[in-house]
Every structure is written in C-alpha cells, then in structure tokens.
Amino acid sequence: MTIVNFLIYFLIMVGIYALLAMSLNLQVGYAGLINFGQVVFFCIGAYTSSLLATKTGLPLLFCFLLAMIVSGFFGYVMSIPTKSLKSDYWAIATLAAAEVFRLVALNEGWLTGGPFGVMSIPQPLRFLFSMENYPLFYLFLVTLCVIIVFFALALITDSPFGRDLKAIREEEDLCLSLGKNTRKLKLEAMVVGGMVGGLAGALFAHYVTFISPENFWPIETFLLWAMIIVGGRGNHAGAILGAALIQIFNVSTRFIGEYVSLGSDSMASLRMVIIGFLIIIFVSYRPEGIIKEKKKVYDPRNIR
C-alpha cells in the first residue's frame, strides 16, 4: 500500500470515527447521558444498510437513509429505560444492549451471515470511478458527511434545545420544575445521536465492503469515549479532534510495531493499556479535554 493510499484510508476512518464521536458527544457532552453502548448504532447502521443493499438491491441512498432511521429508532428504544433507571444503571443497560445486538448478529446466521458477516457490500457510485480513484471519492463523501453533520449538530446545540440538554446534564430536577419534559428531550438527543451513529455505520460498511460481528466489540465504544475525553466534550470540534488524535495514535503504534519486537497481539493489548492511561491522565489533569466547552457570552450592548 502506498503512502497516499494509506493516508486516504486513514482519513476516511478518522471521518467515520469523528461522526461516531460527535454522536456520542451529543449524548454525553450535552445531555449528560452516559452511553456505554454507542457501538450499537454503528453496528445497526452497518448491518441495516449492507443487508438492504445485498439482499434487496435497494438504491444505496435509501439504504443509507434507512440505516439512519433504524438506528435512530433504536436510539428511541434505548432512551425508554431513562424513565425508570438512574443514570449509572442506564449506562450498564446501554452496554448490555450493544452486546445483545452483536450477539444477535453473530448467531442469527440466516439474516446476518453469523460469524462470516456480510460480504461484497456494494459501494455507492462505484462504476463512475477507477479502482485507484474510488477511495479518493469515498474520502470526499465521508468528509461531506462530517461537514454536514458538524453544522447540523452545531445548529441543534446552539438553540433552546441545546440549552435544555445542558441543563438536564447538570440539574434535571430544575428542568422538571420549569416544566421541561426531560424524558422527551433525552429521547430526542438519543434519536439524533442514533441517526448520526447509523450514518457512520453505513459509511463504514460500504467502504470496507465486508462486515462481521468482529467489528462491533464493546472496545469500540471505549475508543469513542477516549476520543471525547481527550478531545473535549460539549463542543463538536473536540470530538473531531479526539477522533483524529486517537486514530493517529492507533496507526502510529502500528508502525512502531515494525521496529519493536512485540507480537501483534501484545502490541494491540499495549495500545489499549496506553489509551487507558491517556484517559486517566486526562480525567485527572484536564477533565474538560483539549478543547474546552465554550461559554456563551452575550454582549449587553447588543441586547437593548
């Protein structure tokens, strides 16, 4: 693989993870919903889109849209227990929900192909490009999605809705006392988060053209957490920065592996250990992350 090809692959993965991190950040950084099952949206998006494409031959645009809708619907389902579970117990439920989906994908072979996964997933507009140029087009597609999602989320969070989410994060009882239907607000945050996560899943599936339950281990969720802890929560740029940094770290350790005589298994474990340390360091010394949540400042002269 040439350097350029590798760079394109790397940037596409950064984009996909940036989408996932932004989606997690909306839930965690804004609404304070401790979601330990974010990978489930990635999983549902990837499977929905690739199964629709391979089994029904639906146009890929619709596969992507349906992936977002199904994944957003699952965000709704996941938000239901917030009514009766305290946030820490809900966090455990999300972790379990993600595992349930991975195991369903692993065992319901008639639908998902089981451990063999879904193969030869068609790629959008593949016929327009040569083998060499296609990744570049895909990078463009992913970048476009990241830009659109970034601005859409920025609009959503810079609104009374975003303000409500932040208030729920900090004082849910206060929101209730002001007549805010906090359940509905959390639900909406989960649905939006689910849709963005589903989009990332679909983009991933149609890029790598082969997915299996192996892609959706809970560790993916924790990588996403590392991204928003390092990059910074409560702002969308932090999520993108975190995605880029963690991916750079992942890739760079791969190259180091060529010079250090560690087996690839040990190297993969070591990588997780280092990311774990990184999380501890950030939580202890810079809990707000690299990019701090921005304070909304009003100029009194502009108000009157």
- Give residues in contact with another protein (CB under 8 A): 152, 155-157, 159-164, 166-167, 169-171, 173-182, 184-185, 188-189, 191-192, 234, 293, 295-298, 300, 303-304
Least Å from the CB of residue 195 to another protein: 10
Q: How far apart (Å, rounded) are the C-alpha atoms in residues 33 and 82?
A: 9
Nearer to another protein, 84 or 264 (CB): 84
**CB 2 to another protein: min, Å:** 41
Helix, strand or coil, per DSSP, at residue 37: coil
* CB of 288 vs another protein, minimal distance in Å: 10
Return the number of the residue (75 or 231) whose C-beta is nearest another protein: 75
Helix axes 39-51, 219-231, angle to 10 degrees: 120
Give the nearest distance from C-beta 3 to another protein in angstroms: 40
Contact 105, 43 (CB under 8 A): yes
Q: Would you give the DSSP letter of residue 179?
A: T
Q: Please tell me what DSSP assigns to residue 158.
A: S
- Closest CB 176 distance from another protein, rounded Å: 4
Nearest-CA neighbor of 42 among 207, 166, 154?
A: 207
**Which CB atom, from 129 or from 150, has the smaller least distance to another protein?**
150
Q: CA–CA separation, 45 vs 66, rounded Å?
A: 8
Q: Which is nearer to another protein, 127 or 298 (CB)?
A: 298
Nearer of residues 55 and 294 to another protein, judged by Cβ:
294
Give me 28's structure tokens: 């965690």
